């Protein structure tokens, strides 16, 4: 882990994030969309985005935000975590999650909630290894305007 640095993302990371997310999670979003979203996210204290660099190259990203609910104590929600395949199993994802956990504790949140697609079985094992407990399977509905 000597070659790994975790830092807060900047808008200039949009191209690297687009590549990491495309090849790690399968989301083919344009850097322009990610840049626009980053500009909004980075202005909001309820969100954070960290970048993992290996030997100066971005290889991982994590995004988390506040999770507020009427029926649960205040938590953070891990919105996305992705590490380039060639850099997986090196502890980079673990370090990114630790950064989010530290941020959650620093901001008075009691835990972190993670939603993961059913097909991402390696990710499920990763989160369980970090002490996250499987809670339930649920459906996700969307409506765009």
User: Which residue stretches of the chain have pLDDT < 70?
Assistant: 1
> Which CATH topology does 4-129 take?
Aminopeptidase (3.40.630)
**Strands 4-8, 47-54: parallel, antiparallel or unpaired by DSSP?**
antiparallel
What are φ and ψ of residue 63, in 5° steps? Answer: -130, 130
Report the predicted TM-score, pTM, of the whole model to 2 decimal places.
0.93
Domain ranges of the chain: 4-129
Neighbours of 33 (CB within 10 A): 11
Residue 34: what are its φ and ψ, rounded to 5°?
Answer: -65, -40
CA 21 to chain centre: 10
Q: 91 — alpha (psi -120 to 50), left (phi > 0) or beta?
A: left
Instruction: Give the tens place of pLDDT for each residue, 66-106.
Output: 999 999 999 999 999 999 999 999 999 999 999 999 999 99
């Amino acid at each position: 882990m000597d070659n790994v640095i975790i830092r807060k993302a900047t808008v200039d990371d949009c191209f690297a994030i687009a590549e990491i997310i495309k090849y790690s999670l399968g989301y083919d979003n344009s850097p322009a969309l990610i840049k626009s979203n980053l500009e909004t996210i980075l202005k909001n204290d309820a969100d954070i985005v960290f970048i993992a660099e290996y030997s100066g190259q971005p290889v991982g990203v994590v995004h988390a935000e506040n999770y507020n609910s009427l029926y649960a104590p205040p938590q953070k929600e891990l919105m996305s975590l992705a590490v380039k395949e060639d850099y997986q199993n090196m502890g980079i994802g673990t370090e990114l999650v630790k950064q989010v956990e530290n941020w959650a504790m620093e901001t008075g949140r009691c835990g972190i909630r993670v939603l993961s697609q059913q097909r991402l079985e390696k990710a499920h094992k990763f989160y369980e290894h970090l002490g996250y407990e499987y809670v339930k399977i649920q459906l996700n509905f969307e409506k765009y305007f």
